Amino acid sequence: MKRAVVVGSGMGGLVAARLLQRQGLDVTILEQHTRPGGLLHRFFRDGLAYDTGFHYCGSVDAGQPLGQVLRHIGIAGDLEFEELDPDGFDVLRFPGLEVSMPRGWDAWRERLAAVFPHERAGLDALFARMRAAVDAYGLYRMVEHTDVAHLLDVEGAGLLDVVRAHVRDPRLHAVLAGHAVLYGVPPHEASFGVHALILDHFLQGAFALKGGGDRLALTLARRIRQDGGRVLLKREVTEVICDGRLATGVRVADGEVFPADLVISNLHPRLTLGLLPEQATRKAYRSRVASTRLGHGHLGVYLELEGPVPELERRNLYRHTRWDLERGYQSTTAAGPSLWFACSPSQRRDGDGRSVVLLIAPHAWEDVARWKDTAWGERPAAYTHHKGALADATVRAFLADHPHLAGRIRRVEASTPLTTEHFTRSPEGAMYGHLHSREQMGRARPSARIRVPNVLLVGQGVFSPGVLGTALSAYYAVGHLFGLGPLLDELRSA
C-alpha cells in the first residue's frame, strides 16, 4: 500500500487525506498544534468555547458544493447545521444606513433595489454578470471542464471596476463591496470573480455548525482514524526528504522520519519550499513565491457575556464606520477600528446562560513585527499593552452600537497576527494565507503542483479562501493524481 504523508491538518489537509484514503493509500497527517483543524480549531475558557477562524458557512444542502463535499467524504450525517436568518443573515451597517442580506441572489437584488430604486437597471445587469462569473469556476460547479479564458477574465477583473460600470451611487458601491472583509482583500484590490464566488456560496444559504469549526475538524479526523489513518498531533515537520527529484519522507522536530510515496502540504507555499532541499525547485519559482503578497492579518477580540445577545442571534454584523472603504481597511489603532465583523456563535447552541461575541478587525503584521522573535506566552509587557489597547478600543466601538451590553461583559481576550502565526504557522499571521487579489489570481494563482512530482499543495492559495475553497483545493490536487473527472463524478452523486 502506498503511503501518503499530509503536512498540516487544516481543512485542505484533512479533506485531501480522506480522498487519498478512498483511493486506497495509507495516510498519516502530521500537525504541529495540540488540536487538528488549523483555523477551524477553538480554544476554551472555563468550559466556554471560542471559535477562532470558523464563523459560518454556506451551501451545505444536498446538491450544493459544501454539502456534496461533506457527503462524499462521509461525515455529513455526523454534523448538525442551523440556518442563519434567511431574511437577513448578514447585516451591513454604514453611517446612516443598514441593509441585511437575505438568502438568494434574487432576494438580495430586490432588497438593494428597494434601498436604491434609481439603480434597479444597473443592479439587474450587475447581478446577471456576477452569476455568470460563478459559472467560470468549474470545480465549484462540480464539472471537470470549464472555459479557462472566462475564468481568467473574471478573476482578473477588478471588483470596483465592474461595479462602477453598472451602478453610479457611491453608497451602493460600498454596500456591494462590503463583504470583501470576508476574504481579507480591500475592495480596490479585490477580484470580481472571487467576490462573486464567495457571495454565491453564502447566498445559497448561510449556516452555523453546532460545535463550530472544531466539530468539523474533529469529526473528519475521527473518520480518518476509523478507516486506518493516523492524525498525529504535536508533530512539527522540519524537512521533506528528497532523493533526486522525488520526496521519500518527512522529518519532524524530534528527528522521527515518516517514509512517504506522496507528500501533501497544507502549508503556505513559502513554508513548503522551506521544507524542501534548495535544489528541488527552480530558483525562479522560489523567487516568485517569495515575492507573492501575503494576506492581511487581523485582531481577534473574544468577549464572554452574561445572557444572550439577541441582535447577533442567527446573524452576523459587518460594521463599516465610514463610507470610504479603502481607509476602513487600515490597521486598527488605539482610536478604534474603522471596520469590524461581529458574530455570536454561542447563540447557536445550548449553553449555561453565557454568550460569546467574536469581533474581528484589521491588524497589520507591521504593527507587531517588532515582537516576532518572542515566544507565545512569554511576550513582553509592551506587546501585552499594545494588544490590550487595541482590544479595548474595539470593545468601545462595539459598545457604541450596543451600549446595553456594557455591564454584561465578564471576560475579554485578544489575538494578533503573532497569535495566528504561532498556532497555524501562516506567514505573518495572514488569516487567508495568500492575498486573493486580482493581481494574484488567475494565472498568478499558486499551483497545486511543483517541480517535485510527488509533492502537492492544498490550502487557501490553491483555489479560494474559506472552508469550501480549501476543501476544493484537495479535490484539485488529488485529481491530478487519479483523474479529476472520476472524482467529480463521485462528488456529484454522493
pLDDT on residue 442: 86
- Percent of the chain, pLDDT > 70? 99
Instruction: Determine the straight-line distance between the first and last CA of the chain, rounded to whole angstroms.
Output: 26
- Percent of the chain, pLDDT > 90? 81
E strand or H helix that includes residue 12: helix 11-22
pLDDT of 188 > 70? The answer is yes
pLDDT of 350 > 80? The answer is no
Rg (CA), the chain: 22
From 330, 300, 444, 342, select the one nearest 91 (Cα to Cα).
Answer: 342
Q: Which residues contact 174 (CB under 8 A, 6 or more apart)?
A: 94, 320, 323, 325
> What is the spatial distance between Cα 29 and Cα 32, in angstroms, rounded to a whole number?
10
What number is the average pLDDT over the span 151-164?
95
For 3-38+213-292+446-493, give the CATH class. Answer: alpha beta
> What is the spatial distance between Cα 489 and Cα 87, in angstroms, rounded to a whole number?
34
Inter-residue contact 273 to 438 (CB < 8 Å)? no
26-30 and 48-51 strand pairing: unpaired
Q: What angle do CA 312, 314, 317 make, to 5 degrees?
A: 45
pLDDT on residue 348: 43
What predicted TM-score, i.e. pTM, was given to this entire model? 0.94
- DSSP structural state of residue 136: T
pLDDT of 453 > 60? The answer is yes
**Chain segment 6-41, per-residue pLDDT in tens:** 999 999 999 999 999 999 999 999 999 999 999 898
Query: What sign has the CA pseudo-torsion 450, 453, 455, 459?
Result: positive
From 458, 185, 194, 130, select the one nearest 326 (Cα to Cα).
Answer: 185
- DSSP-based three-state secondary structure for 323: coil
Query: What sign has the CA pseudo-torsion 201, 204, 207, 209?
Result: negative
| CA distances for 145 relative to 139, 447, 483, angstroms | 8, 17, 12
pLDDT on residue 449: 87
pLDDT on residue 484: 93
Strands across the sheet containing 57-58: 57-58, 206-209, 81-83
- Label residue 473 left, alpha or beta by phi (over 0 means left) and psi (-120 to 50 means alpha): alpha
Q: What is the DSSP string of 40-75?
A: G-EEEETTEEEESS---EE--STTSHHHHHHHHTT-
- What's the grid cell of residue 55? 464563523
Half-sphere exposure of 175 (CA within 13 A, CB side): 27
pLDDT on residue 351: 54
pLDDT category of residue 245 using cuts at 50, 70 and 90: confident
Q: What angle do CA 409, 410, 416 make, to 5 degrees?
A: 85
**Chain segment 263-300, per-residue pLDDT in tens:** 999 999 999 999 999 888 888 888 888 899 999 999 99
- DSSP structural state of residue 280: G
Half-sphere exposure of 295 (CA within 13 A, CB side): 29
Q: Where do the domains of the chain lie?
A: 3-38+213-292+446-493, 103-200, 294-429
pLDDT category of residue 381 using cuts at 50, 70 and 90: very high
- DSSP-based three-state secondary structure for 233: coil
pLDDT on residue 53: 86
